[in-house]
Amino acid sequence: MSALRTAVVTGGGRGLGRAYAIALAAAGHAVIVNDLGDGPADAVVAEIEAAGGTALVSRHDVTDFAATAELVELAVERFGGLDVVVANAGILRDRTLAAMAESEWDDVIAVHLKGTFTIAHHAAAHWRARSKAGDAVDGRLITTTSASGLYGNIGQSNYAAAKAGIAGFTLVAAQELRPYGVSVNCVAPSALTRLTEAPLLRYEGAITDRRREELDPNWVARVVAWLCGPGARDVTGQVFDIRGPRVGIASGWRLEPAFTQPDDLDELDQALRSAIAAAPPAADMEGQRNG
Ligand SMILES: NC(=O)c1ccc[n+]([C@@H]2O[C@H](COP(=O)([O-])OP(=O)(O)OC[C@H]3O[C@@H](n4cnc5c(N)ncnc54)[C@H](O)[C@@H]3O)[C@@H](O)[C@H]2O)c1
């Protein structure tokens, strides 16, 4: 067994994944940098090795169940086990609901939602087997949601469905994997990457140097590295909304307020309207209370 802890970062060839891979390598992990095609993952591995770290390329497609089993197997063969998974790979196919093509829905659900399940499933099976064999597992699974999935953003019903699904998935995985010594947390990042450059330019007109600094992926990577480090072993089932230097906890759904249905339909109408008025308003895309 290698002295280094081993991490897999899916979509690690660009943007946020690249920053996570570099931060995890600097924190003493052997990192398997997963991405599609020739180029992006190789460049990140070269960068990590040039800095004295240990890294390996994986070109497995996260939408492929069998390929992600091979990815976990690669970690076991090359580094003796797997300790950290950052399920980060992502794509966008933005379109309003009425105009969205079936392939735009399917592709986004496949990469984000299935692509989180595939790698998480095989890693979970690996951790369960080690735990049952008496190993002291200290596993970390980091999943990736989005403000769009938590708060709602026009033109992203496919992406929001996948990302909200991943937040729910995280809560279940945190409960299921805790007995095996694995913590599971979710990040909702904001960063300037290939994925967000065009939409940011559309909304903000120009990207100032100050915005570039605020949206540096390294802000998110700091929190991810912390979640994967020795101090955060007990932290599980949380969703972190990270917007550059500002970071917070995205709190979940609450049953608030609740009441017993009256028999009379007019009274039910009144009671439902009162409950809606008394309920905390949904948050806007800044995660703040609307209205
Ligand atoms: N950048 C942001 O502000 C932001 C906001 C919210 C959520 N996110 C999420 O963060 C994650 C990373 O996004 P990013 O902004 O760094 O984007 P990015 O495009 O820079 O990087 C994503 C990487 O995932 C890879 N990828 C895509 N499909 C893959 C597959 N099937 N198998 C393996 N790799 C695959 C891509 O090749 C790419 O290198 C995504 O899940 C994204 O939805 C980003």
- C-alpha–C-alpha distance, residues 219 and 242, integer Å: 8
The confidence score (pLDDT) of residue 1 equals 42
**Segments in 2-64 forming alpha helices (H):** 15-26, 40-50
Which parts of the chain register pLDDT below 70? 1-2, 290-291
Nearest one of 256, 236, 128 to 180, comparing CA atoms: 128
The confidence score (pLDDT) of residue 252 equals 85
The rounded Å distance from CA 181 to ligand 1 centre is 28
Q: Crossing angle, helix 15-26 and helix 40-50, to 10 degrees?
A: 30
In sequence order, what E strands does 47-129 have?
Answer: 55-58, 84-86
- Decide yes or no: CATH 1.20.1600.10 for domain 5-249: no
Ligand 1 atom at minimum distance from 40 CA: 39
Q: Which residues are catalytic?
A: 146, 159, 163
Q: How far is CA 291 from CA 168, 281, 282, 288, in A?
A: 26, 7, 9, 9
Q: Which residues line ligand 1 (CB under 6 A)?
A: 10-11, 13-17, 34-36, 40, 61-63, 88-91, 111, 115, 144, 146, 189-191, 193-196
- C-alpha–C-alpha distance, residues 241 and 244, integer Å: 10
The rounded Å distance from CA 16 to ligand 1 centre is 7
- Which DSSP letter does residue 109 get? I
Ligand 1 atom at minimum distance from 215 CA: 3
Give per-residue burial for 81-106: e unless 16+ CB within 10 Å, then b.
bbbbbbbbbbbbbbbeeeebeeebbe
The rounded Å distance from CA 3 to ligand 1 centre is 30
Contact (Cβ atoms closer than 8 angstroms) between residue 45 and residue 33: yes
Closest CA to ligand 1's atom 20:
15
- C-alpha–C-alpha distance, residues 61 and 31, integer Å: 17
Ligand 1 atom at minimum distance from 111 CA: 31
Contact (Cβ atoms closer than 8 angstroms) between residue 10 and residue 65: no
pTM score, whole prediction: 0.97
The rounded Å distance from CA 179 to ligand 1 centre is 30
The confidence score (pLDDT) of residue 242 equals 98
Please report, for the chain, the start and end positions of each structural domain, with discontinuous segments joined by +: 5-249, 254-291
Closest CA to ligand 1's atom 36:
11
The confidence score (pLDDT) of residue 60 equals 98
The confidence score (pLDDT) of residue 198 equals 87
Work out the widest C-alpha separation in the chain, in whole angstroms. 73
The confidence score (pLDDT) of residue 291 equals 62
